[in-house]
Amino acid sequence: MILGALLIGLTGTAWAQRAVDNPDWKEIEVPPPPAFDVGKLITFDVSPNASLVYGVDPAALRISSSDGVVRYVMVATSASGATNVMYEGIRCATAEFKTYARYTPDGQWRAVANAEWRSLFSGAASRHALQFAKAGACENAAPPSSVPEIISRLQGQN
Per-residue confidence of the chain (158 residues) as pLDDT tens digits?
333 444 444 444 444 444 456 778 999 999 999 999 999 999 988 888 878 999 999 999 999 999 999 999 999 999 899 999 999 999 999 999 999 999 999 999 999 999 999 999 988 888 999 999 999 999 989 999 999 999 999 988 64
3-state secondary structure (DSSP) of residue 87: strand
For 45, list phi and psi in degrees, rounded to 5. Answer: -80, 135
The Cα-based distances of 57 to 18, 19, 36, 40 in angstroms read 29, 27, 6, 6
pTM of the model: 0.84
Residue (of 120, 92, 68) closest to 3 by Cα position: 92
Nearest Cα to Cα of residue 36 among 74, 63, 67: 74
